[in-house]
Amino acid sequence: MSEALLTRRRSSTSAGRIRLTFSVLVLGVLNLPCAFFNFGQVEKPKPPLTPARQNDVASVSPEPTVKSAKIFNAKKIVLVLSDASGRTASGLLAGVLAQFSLRETIEVQTATQVTSKEKLKETIDGIQHKGPDVLVLATLVDSTLSGWAKTFCEDYNLQFVEVMGPLLDQMGSFLDQESKGEPGASLSDQRSINQILNNDFFRMVEAVKYSQRHIGGLNSQDWHEADIILVGPSRCGKGPVAHQLAMRGYKAAALNISPYDMLPEELESIQPDQVALITLEEPRLLRLRQNRAAEMKAQKRSMLLEDDYAEPARVRKDLELTAELQSFNPQWREAVDMTYLSPEECAAVLIRQVKQDRDAAALRLQ
């Protein structure tokens, strides 16, 4: 009987081992945690992590998947920092954003009346978790506060652009003055600032209107009001130059000269420094006139041009007339050759001449 009992124990032990082995295999295939097989053993508590060990664990811990999903769908944020109403930064930002597409991916947040270090830090702390998806645009006139803003942004890995600082430094150097560093000064002194800006604007508007009324020799009775009277053959670029002058506040009239037309009497009564002769090299002027004649023919308007308008002999005659005017009027400025100049460059040359003449006249009066 003892042998039979011993045999049953051995067989039951073998069956248990077989069942245990089968369970391990099944659970291993299912990838269940090994802690399932403690079999009643009590797991020893892990020792607390030291501060250094905590930093090591944090540095190797994988980032949560939620953050990666947020980056995929995140908007770029522009935080406007202003020590006043934010109007200056908003106007500037509007002009900048207009140059880019996909503006729906950008969110603009504005923080106004940021005049202390505490409010500045509180504002940046509220957005620092966005990290590199944030651009901070600051229009802070206080250089110390602007310096703190740059430091906070560097600490949080935020992109930072300072608008007012470099401009104030450059303007202060130009005017040889120190800036007041007063937040919202443009609002308190708006009337005098607007007067300066409006004077320049209205001078430009008046100049544009003047040039439009005095194209092609029109309204020559008003030439005494002009800053510059452009004289030269047709298609030498007087119109575009007059426009560039007007956009800079200079009143310009234009006169086409031709062997078939008499010169206006007013050309003899105006001041010599008001006249500016414009010329071109013959091949360039001929090509421009031929293009003009082809365009007018395509529009069935060729009857508005003289028959020989685009002929080489006529072009040569017009250029010779320009040279004769120069020789008969040595008191006029030397003719400007537009062959290799853009309208903007020609306008700049003429403006420089006008300023030099006015400076010389002012010295003679002293």
Tell me the per-residue pLDDT of 222-232, one tens digit each, with 9 for 90 and over. 999 999 999 99
Q: Residues 274-327: pLDDT tens digits?
A: 999 999 999 999 999 999 999 999 999 999 999 999 999 999 999 999 999 999
CA dist., res. 4 & res. 24, Å (int): 30
Return the pLDDT at 248.
Answer: 93
Return the pLDDT at 351.
Answer: 95
Domains parsed from the chain with CATH numbers? 71-187 (3.40.50), 198-365 (3.40.50)
Identify which of 179, 141, 186 has the alpha carbon closest to the alpha carbon of residue 163: 141
Highest mean pLDDT among 127-131, 133-137, 202-206, 277-281: 277-281
Return the pLDDT at 297.
Answer: 94
pLDDT confidence tier of residue 11, bands split at 50, 70 and 90 = very low
The first and second tokens of residue 145, run together, are 């506060």
Alpha helices in the chain (DSSP H): 2-29, 51-60, 65-73, 87-97, 117-125, 143-155, 164-175, 185-188, 190-213, 238-247, 266-269, 282-298, 312-328, 343-365
pTM of the model: 0.53
User: Does the pLDDT of residue 81 top 60, yes or no?
Assistant: yes
Higher pLDDT, 168 or 25: 168
- Averaged over 14-39, what is the pLDDT? 43
User: Does the pLDDT of residue 26 top 60, yes or no?
Assistant: no
User: Does the pLDDT of residue 334 top 70, yes or no?
Assistant: yes
User: Does the pLDDT of residue 113 top 50, yes or no?
Assistant: yes
Return the pLDDT at 172.
Answer: 87
The first and second tokens of residue 118, run together, are 């505490």
Mean pLDDT, the chain, rounded, equals 81
CA dist., res. 364 & res. 122, Å (int): 62
Beta carbons of 260 and 317 less than 8 angstroms apart: no
Of 161-165, 232-236, 280-284, 337-341, the poorest mean pLDDT is in 161-165
Tell me how crowded residue 82 is: count the other CB atoms within 10 A of its CB: 24
User: Does the pLDDT of residue 40 top 80, yes or no?
Assistant: no
Higher pLDDT, 304 or 51: 304
Higher pLDDT, 26 or 352: 352
CA dist., res. 179 & res. 110, Å (int): 25
Return the pLDDT at 72.
Answer: 39
User: Does the pLDDT of residue 360 top 90, yes or no?
Assistant: no
- Averaged over 106-133, what is the pLDDT? 90
Return the pLDDT at 188.
Answer: 60
The strands making up 228-232's β-sheet, listed across from edge to edge, are 252-256, 228-232, 275-279, 336-337
The first and second tokens of residue 206, run together, are 């008046």
Return the pLDDT at 190.
Answer: 64
